[in-house]
Amino acid sequence: MNNLFRTLIAGYGAKKLGGGCFTTVLIFILIYWALGTCNRNTQPAPRRAENNTHSIQAVRQRS
């Protein structure tokens, strides 16, 4: 999510839900963090080819 929209949404939500100064800031931080975690890529990173070559070379040396 674009940081500008993320900030605007978090600010609007904090304004509506916050009561005082401290709670508004706290709610803003929580909403901002939650919007940032929703956009993360959940797929694991692909394994690098060099990690697999060592095991293949070890098998070939045993033969």
The number of domains in the chain is 1
11-45, pLDDT tens digit by residue?
A: 999 999 988 999 999 999 999 999 988 766 666 66
Q: How many CB atoms lie within 10 A of CB 31?
A: 19
- Considering the domain boundaries, does residue 11 fall inside one? yes
Confidence (pTM):
0.60
Specify whether the CB–CB gap between 28 and 11 falls below 8 A: yes
> 37 lies in a domain?
yes
Q: Which domain holds residue 7?
A: 1-42
Instruction: Give Cα separations from 18 to 30, 36, 38, 45, 60 (angstroms).
Output: 12, 20, 22, 38, 65
pLDDT at 41: 67
Q: Does residue 19 sit within a domain? A: yes
**Does a structural domain hold residue 36?**
yes
Does residue 17 form part of some domain?
Answer: yes
